A = this chain, B = another copy of it.
């Protein structure tokens, strides 16, 4: 049953060291504020999962929160590599990062299987690739009717899923729209879930068949305006493309990353303060 709470309370209550944590968002509605709060609270040893880990995962990995990453595409979309992710994989900094690598189709199916309480997913996948020899989670299964061989992979069942959405009502019923990604499946596949939202409303006033998470499948709902920035929230604000570009320079070296993290995340009280600090920076840069 959804409890309205502050984000710091929600992370403290539901995300523990060593947990298997899904933060999802396919370019849209990425839960940046929640990721920052995980960093602030100093979580360690997390096994993270995300289809498209990007800046927020680069930050959590660089901050030392993660021991493992399950993913299908890890990059700065439209810009290039994730330097902190690469540094962890290539050099073990700040800690070694185990990876479980999948394709989008696999991971999307594996979330679906998790939401459906199945132990594995079946897909037409990976044929001819190096995944099956190299990645032990890719196995095969034979159709009991046709004899066809298909790929089978383990379902994803996170300890906790964290997503951002546009609205929730007082009961914690959550509405999201636009690019939906795999957020519904992530929440339904997880044991616990936290949803940050742009707006708390009296009534969702949702159209028929909209994507809604009933409050009783959510554990904590937190009001965090702009909580998906620098990604975007459809109907609320646009993607801050300039930040994605700036991140390439910030994250390239360990020292510049550490300085940025300290000033923007570790030394800020919450996401609202982070946004103020960031806004100050941007206006300074604009003045130069």
Which A residues fall within an 8 A CB radius of B? 117-120, 122-124, 139-141, 143-146, 148, 150, 152, 154, 177-178, 180, 207-211, 234
A181 to B: closest C-beta gap in Å: 12
**Copies of this chain assembled into the complex:** 2
> Bound complex: CA of A123 vs CA of B121, how far in Å?
11
Residue of B nearest to A121 (CB): B122
Find out whether the CB atom of B145 lies under 8 angstroms from the CB atom of A120.
Answer: yes
> Bound complex: CA of A86 vs CA of B186, how far in Å?
44
> Which residues on the B side are within 8 Å of A211 (C-beta)?
209
- Given that A118-B122, A208-B177, A210-B207 are known contacts, is A139 also in contact with B145, CB under 8 Å in the complex? yes
Find out whether the CB atom of B141 lies under 8 angstroms from the CB atom of A144.
Answer: yes
Residue of B nearest to A150 (CB): B118
Partner pick for A120 among B143, B209, B234, CB 8 A cutoff:
B143
Residue of B nearest to A153 (CB): B145
A119 to B: closest C-beta gap in Å: 4
